[in-house]
Amino acid sequence: MLLDQFGFAKLTDFGFAKRLLPPGRKTWTFCGTPEYVAPEIILNRGHDYSADYWSLGVLMFELLTGTPPFTGSDPMKTYNIILKGIDAIDFPRTVSRNSTNLIKKLCRDNPAERLGYQKGGIEDIKKHKWFDGFYWEGLKNRTLSPPIVPLIRSAIDNSNFDQYPPDTEGEPVEDMTGWDEDF
């Protein structure tokens, strides 16, 4: 997630995104950031856009706490924590009751039970108590005042990004061990 030059959030990196699936259709591609993967993806049951509502709940938790709710020392441990469900997660006291309720409704184990996936669709999420008083039209029309507006000097200004040392490992070395000769 990035901020544009006006301070509005933009979602990025749709390298694994699927084109809109027809209603009632699923996909079985296993991809994504481990902490954000929905249970049905881990269990290879097929998934549709309800997995996006799961990921929204995870993102919301991370934005409110600084860390995702499901985190292990390696992807397999993370997946096992995910399969235990959102109710096994301890929410910090700093997370309000309404935000906890919304996250738990987005991160239901059963995709059909996730908020946003029922008859009311995305409107059910927008009507949740946590969003009471939020001016959705102002967001849509970009008339809200964002809390942070980055200073951008030009189209190629990267001063708002963290600096990292150059990669010193260099180019990968060609594997000539012959392990794949019989493939």
**Backbone angles phi and psi of 102, in degrees to 5:** -65, -45
166/151 Cα distance (integer angstroms)? 25
Euclidean distance between CA atoms 49 and 57, whole angstroms: 13
Stated pTM of the model: 0.85
Domain ranges in the chain are 2-141
pLDDT above 90 coverage of the chain, percent: 78
**CATH fold of 2-141, please?**
Transferase(Phosphotransferase); domain 1 (1.10.510)
Helix, strand, coil fractions of the chain, as percent rounded to 5: 35, 5, 60
- Residue 166 pLDDT class (50, 70, 90 cuts): confident
Least confident of 16-20, 75-79, 122-126, 134-138: 16-20
CA 150 to chain centroid, in Å, comes to: 23
Contact 27, 21 (CB under 8 A): yes
Question: Considering only 13-17, 37-41, 64-68, 142-146, which range has the smallest mean pLDDT?
Answer: 13-17
For the CA atoms of 138, 141, 145, 146, the dihedral, rounded to the nearest 10 degrees, stands at: 110
pLDDT in tens, 27-61: 998 888 999 999 999 999 999 999 999 999 999 99
